[in-house]
Chain A
Amino acid sequence: MERLDGPPLTARRAGLVACTQCTRVQRPAKNCERCAAPLHAREYMGLQRVWAWLTVGLLLYIPANTYPMLLTSTLGSTSASTILGGVVELVQYGSYFIALIVFVASVAIPVMKFAVIAYLALSLKQMVPISAHQRLVLFEVVEFIGRWSMIDVFVVAILSALVQLGFVATVNPGPAAACFALSVVFTMLSAQSFDPRLIWDASEETPEK
């Protein structure tokens, strides 16, 4: 692709807008002329939505960990296990690999997402030691990995559907499943609301270190 001379010519600088849905470059208008999607030069209201969704996701993550995720009842005795409790049990049981997967998917990834999104949002205003490029990579990673946190919710769903052996063994989902699913959804929305183009705008305006 050819690059035009001068400081990087972004669409915005050229007074144009690229539709996020169909990629057509056009003059600013309310809706895209090709696909009728709403047209914004940059994500609406900047970072407000990012912070809002992120906060909700973070708040929901707390009950997701305090309430039980799985309610197991074997031969009459019920036991409730939270996310972390389940991981500990798996380690005690000897299934290290599965414990690792659950830990990564349900604890490491969501926490990392909160941290990274917050960091990226803050980086737009502050100076940060990493380059725009690296921040973009971070963003792409977060956006891709975010949905994989839902794995735990699906595991709970399939176990609850499958282990229904009446009195002998029954598994039912706990309230943490709903909280966790919602937390993942909101974090995904938060990442989606973050317009990566803002990273480059910021790096253009503030000289990179």
Chain B
Amino acid sequence: MTETPEEMQVEDRPPPLWRRVSVVWLVPLLAVVVSLAVAWQSLSERGVLVTISFEETAGIVAGKTAVKFRDVDVGLVEDLAFSADLSSVLVSARIRKEIAPFLDDDASFWIARPRVSPRGISELDTIVSGVYIEGSWDGTPEAAIVDFVGLETAPEVRPNSAGTSVRLSAPDAGSLAAGAPILFRGIEVGQIERVSLAETGASVIVDAFVAAPHDQRLTTATRFWNLSGFSVSLDTSGVTLDVDSLASLVEGGLGFDIVYSGGGPIPEEQIFQIFTDERAARESVFNQRLQQELRLSIEFDDQIQGLQAGDPVQFRGLRVGEVESLTITALEEADGSPADVRLLTNIVINPGRLGLPGQAGREAALDYIEAAVAGGLRARVGVTSMLTGALVVELAEMPEAAPAAFLRDARPHPQLPHVAS
């Protein structure tokens, strides 16, 4: 048994941690934290990667070419790759995060390059600054997508612009070209986007765009006419020379106006006709062309020199239609023997004016005509005015004419029999 209290075991207490570890370790720690913070921030702000495929990517450089929207940089091209079948180039671009939701399926991209058009030279600055990809989309985000097919040529009219696209048809393009202006009382309100051939090949389809708010003037009462060139007319009232302007003489274009009051909104599939000049457009009202059209053709075998498109077609002295075009056809015979070359006069008539009840369909109209032909309806060329030599196609009732057939199934239009004039 011990008498005296024990001695404590004295150990050196190690100094607390904060004294042992130098404060200098805060420095690398701070460096790590700041670096990670900056890295995190730049990663989270990174844009969305979008793929656009083009057939040609002239001048696009990975890492340099910008993607612009309304002339503001919204992205950068990161990479170029080929599609699986090498038919197109896939451009990967990183688009800013706040813009990415707007890239839905009505977004379109094209490459902005220097362009020469009848309107002038545009995008000239890309020669110096390098090409860029321009995009267009509307302000309403829908289902966002990331794969796009780029347009090969820059559109004439910026997509998603406010306005209306219309479709028109004309016998031939004449001087109408993409980019030509559409004028309303001399003020440019739109542009022709595209001029292409109709499926039948007998006319030309023009796609045009009229900007807001002028598209409000597009009603069923609107008529378009060709501005280019000039027209001379010689009639009982004298000679008139009509030129719109020197510019339209050179550049071409379309004009339009509302030619009568009370027109309604245009239906979806409306195709406007392009009249040769303003006067024809205004006069067309009286023809009520748009209501019903029946196209027929006649193979006059005697000379029809002087007959031209636009010449009236008359029935009982009343205008029922007009000559649409004169075409040459070479159709193979049914039995395979070599084709004959024929000269066809294509006319378009309003069956209502022939006495047909309105709202009858095409078949009913053809039935009617077939009956009329059986009853002696023939086509012939006549002269309206000795002074001008203007010709007219006359649908005459001649019960005593030789029997002839109405070729209902002829191509391109049902064929009327004719008699000598």
**In the complex they form, do A and B come into direct contact, defined as C-beta atoms under 8 angstroms apart?**
yes
Query: A residues bordering B, Cβ < 8 Å?
Result: 75, 166-168
List residues 75-129 of chain B with CB under 8 A from any CB of chain A.
127-129
A167 CA / B130 CA spacing, docked (Å):
9
Give the interface SS of chain B, mostly helix, strand, loop or mixed.
helix
Q: Mark B124-145, 1 if CB is under 8 A from A, else 0.
A: 0001111000000000000000
Instruction: Count A-B pairs with CB separation below 8 Å.
Output: 8
Give the interface SS of chain A, mostly helix, strand, loop or mixed.
loop
Residues of chain B within 8 A of A75, CB atoms compared: 128
Residue of A nearest to B127 (CB): A167
Residue of B nearest to A167 (CB): B128
| A77 shortest CB reach to chain B, Å | 14
Q: A-B pairs with the 3 shortest C-beta distances?
A: A167-B128, A168-B128, A166-B130
A168 CA / B128 CA spacing, docked (Å):
7
Residues of chain A within 8 A of B127, CB atoms compared: 167
| A79 shortest CB reach to chain B, Å | 19
Residues of chain A within 8 A of B129, CB atoms compared: 166, 168
A-B contact pairs, 8 of them (CB 8 A): A75-B128, A166-B128, A166-B129, A166-B130, A167-B127, A167-B128, A168-B128, A168-B129
A168 CA / B127 CA spacing, docked (Å):
10
A168 CA / B64 CA spacing, docked (Å):
14
A75 CA / B129 CA spacing, docked (Å):
11
| B124 shortest CB reach to chain A, Å | 13
Known pairs A75-B128, A166-B130 / 6 extra A-B pairs, C-beta < 8 Å: A166-B128, A166-B129, A167-B127, A167-B128, A168-B128, A168-B129
A167 CA / B127 CA spacing, docked (Å):
9
List residues 366-419 of chain B with CB under 8 A from any CB of chain A.
none
| A138 shortest CB reach to chain B, Å | 37
A168 CA / B126 CA spacing, docked (Å):
11
| A167 shortest CB reach to chain B, Å | 6
Residues of chain B within 8 A of A166, CB atoms compared: 128-130
Residues of chain B within 8 A of A168, CB atoms compared: 128-129
Q: Mark B66-79, 1 if CB is under 8 A from A, else 0.
A: 00000000000000
